[in-house]
Structure 1
Amino acid sequence: MTDSVPVQPTKHTVVVPSSIDMVTLLGPGDEHLAMIERSFDAEVHVRGNRISLTGEPAEIAMAERLLDELVTIIRTGQGVTAEIVERVMTMLRSSTTERPADVLSQNILSNRGRSIRPKTVNQKRYVDAIDEHTITFGIGPAGTGKTYLAMAKAVQALQAKAVTRIILTRPAVEAGERLGYLPGTLSEKIDPYLRPLYDALHDMIDPETIPKLLAAGTIEVAPLAYMRGRTLNDAFIILDEAQNTSPEQMKMFLTRLGFGSKIVVTGDVTQVDLPKGTKSGLRVVEDILDGVDDLSFNRLGSADVVRHRLVGKIVAAYDQHDADRESRLQREQGQPAQPASSGDRS
């Protein structure tokens, strides 16, 4: 048995185009530069617009790709933050074929100087699926942007006059039979369950115009029960918290689809609040609709969480806990453990 020959370090120099602001590229106080050194185990030296990289060839090649992606993002007019640098590095180390710059530069909606864009590969695939299909399902844990991105696409469609109205709905399952005992009018009772949808709207539309759009019926925010018996034409319809629908409610909702409309259904199958013994419509719908054309199922996971970094770690820890528990139960019952599924299915 012979000893392996150590890989000799490689040195390469990247010349950044003179049109690129080096402070934007390297970050305030060279923050991005420090991230590159830590992440790629490389020595990095900067002189003017020349960046010298020394380290293992594979790591140096990856660092060069990172710099190239960041330069491309800057050229689109988008700023570069530590979060963007981290997301580019994550994508480069994954097996995805999409260019990080293409993912992070896809602008869905701009409002008051703020742009809404996908931040992960799965988010981009989800957004693309909404464009390409009449009915799209976005399934994933909290913080993966499934509802937020769907609402951005709805506002985009309204602004482009692709639809004449937006309908946002979710089941008020948490209230259950106790809804009638709450004080106030029906609207006041239901409002807490619809508040997250209003909050997202305020990020995407000038707040002073929202009451006018609601009064005119251009935007409708209503509980799922209000959808029964209707046919919704020329509308962008979003069903949020769909894990809290029964199979009968899910069928009722999907069959509201009218001409010129799109439907997006979002939910988290690990957070079902239905009474015991009631199946979740979101859990069974994929088996029922498998093979139906013009319909897409998209899954997002802990890697797609775009809230605080700790949220992604919490989601991943719960996923691992659930997988370990399932494996343990199967061993106790003498069944072979099932491998965890991953990736999107369209």
Structure 2
Amino acid sequence: MLLWIGLGLLAAAVVPYVIFFIGIHIGKKPEKPPALSEYPPISIVISAYNEEAVILKRVDNILASSYPADRYEVIFVDDCSSDNTRALALDAFEKAGIDHRIIANTERLGTNRSYNKAILAARFPIVVTTDADVFFEREALERLIGRLVSDERIAAVCGDLYPLPGDGSHPAQMEGAYRNYYGRMCSWESAVDSTYAFNGALVAFKRDLVTRIDDRRGADDANTAFEAIRRGYLAVYEPGARVYEDVPPDFHRQYRQKIRRATHLIEATISNLDLLRHPRPFSRFFYPLRVYMYLATPALFFTGSVLFVVGLALAFPLLAIGVLGLFALIGYFWRGSTIVSFATNQVYLAKGLLNLGKDMRVWESTSNKVGTG
């Protein structure tokens, strides 16, 4: 009996993932963004805390973009770094000849509140928010803006996030498998209507449509998308605008990063449930799937797994040992598999649910950099 109940709960846990799997393969595909006929002026906003080990490379990365340097300004917000981040950033921007301004917070604010300060200071109607420790491909910014201005209904666009190329670490392999599936889910949602599962590494929005980011609860990326959707516009994912992050090299630091992200995403999900009443595909179909995925699936997965293993052990002890051994082998030798990525993600989501109510707006760096932790 326990065996079948466990199997039933596991089947219920994967329902939204199965639906997304089908949609990814046979559903509507996103259109390729048109090439820009002209480059609209944009304000690039970066919020940083203790990024002295990467900030010089980050400035070089922005300068190497195919987006003309005379068509953007950079607003750099230093969130009370205890290292030399601000001085290095100022020197790098000046040497690169990039139009820039430095905002120095007098207290730790976190990303959302830092971005809102910069949005008020931005000179241009299009704002791009991006992290200090990521690196986008040369044409990523151009493609991102191309998608944003391609349709007047689009208010916000997000880039596609992956681990740094060549990173063969166990955490990077698992993150790569997760990101590959995650990106295709978001692309399908975007092709039909909108997605709020944005990556904060690279986001662009029209400032007259997204006037501020909710800085009380949730992630800046998801809250940016929700603000666009709440106003009746589209928030879309652009897979052609690829950006790379330095995945934490060990599970302890990756765990902290993923828990923080999961907590913020769940907070944003819960804080916008009133949108379920809106008469559009996002609210009637995709948002309920995401709510199920983030709030119900972790409990169903872990309860079902325990009941299945116990039931199997009671009925077929040797088979239970074999099944557990098989999963252990899959986790070790096929660490980049979808199965391992799915199971690991349930751990992050479950912990994120337990963290609800905690103030996690202020972060500590978890990337692979000297002098941070």
**Do they fold alike, i.e. is TM over 0.5?**
no
When the two structures are superposed, what TM-score results if normalisation uses the length of structure 1?
0.27
When the two structures are superposed, what TM-score results if normalisation uses the length of structure 2?
0.25
**Higher share in helix:** 2
Which structure: larger Rg? Answer: 1
